[in-house]
Amino acid sequence: MRIATWNVNSIRQRLDHAVRWLGEAAPDVVCLQEIKCQDEAFPREAFEALGYNVAVHGQKGFNGVALLSKLPLEDVTTGLPGDDLDVQSRFIEAVVSVKGAAVRICCLYLPNGNPPDTEKYPYKLGFMARLRALAARRLALEEAFVLAGDFNVIPTAIDAADPAAWVNDALYLPATRAAFRDLVHLGLTDAVRATSDAERLFSFWDYQAGAWQRDLGIRIDHLLLSPQAADRLIAAGIDKHVRSWEKPSDHVPVWADLAIAA
């Protein structure tokens, strides 16, 4: 079973890219972020024509997440628990089952948090605390689950081409990285780092300052696996070439293969 995550930065602008990449990579489950549309405007027919079931938690103009799955999506829920006042569409989860094996897929778009001296940064840290609480509850069930999405976190210096350029950014502040470590240290596995310690593994290149042309990227899109999912991890990777397509998203797909026959 291939599970992938991709911040498409507007699904309507990137629909052709999404269809092209799905044809190439043939993932079984896809977590999409920043779809930037309401539920009724999501182009579900294009994905259903490719054999995918679709679940959407949209928002007009920005944010928004969606799940695509070749397997039925069961027990779909939206919104990260813990803050009834949070109306931003940043979280959707569902269960996919095949041949007796079930995996819960949690798709998230974690807040950017910039500028750090505004209310946006406490919101980011609060979201991360709520995510940690959810992960702890899921881990207690001892079931396979995956947290996948745009975390807007650069975990370590190796995950940035130029770490010094990010020292004052909400993606790399000490409190951000500490919150991410606290999440992982619950017992989760970073799929990409579990399969490679290579440098220059990036998932995002800014549109500005020739970041793509100079390979000044960062790794902020992650798949974190529970022990029951990590035990089945076969491979993981980043489809960097997608960033070279015409009018691309600034993010590229990240994926993990689990030993579950889909």
Binding residues: 7, 34, 150, 152, 250-251
- Numbered residues of the known binding site for Mg(2+): 7, 34, 150, 152, 250-251
Among 174, 163, 177, 168, residue whose Cα is nearest residue 114: 168
Q: Which of 52, 109, 121, 172 is catalytic?
A: 109
Residues 6+ apart with CB under 8 A from 11: 18, 32, 35, 36, 37, 42, 43, 64, 66
The token duo for 2 is 């291939």
Q: Which of 17, 57, 222, 251 is catalytic?
A: 251
Q: Which of 28, 150, 169, 190 is catalytic?
A: 150
Q: Compute the distance between CA of residue 69 and CA of residue 29 in angstroms, rounded to an integer.
A: 4
Q: Clarify whether 17 is annotated catalytic.
A: no
What are the CA-CA distances from residue 252 to residues 31, 119, 202 (Å)? 12, 29, 9
Q: Compute the distance between CA of residue 166 and CA of residue 130 in angstroms, rounded to an integer.
A: 25
Name the residue type at position 245: W
DSSP for 34-51 reads ---S-GGGS-HHHHHTTT
Which positions are catalytic? Answer: 109, 150, 251
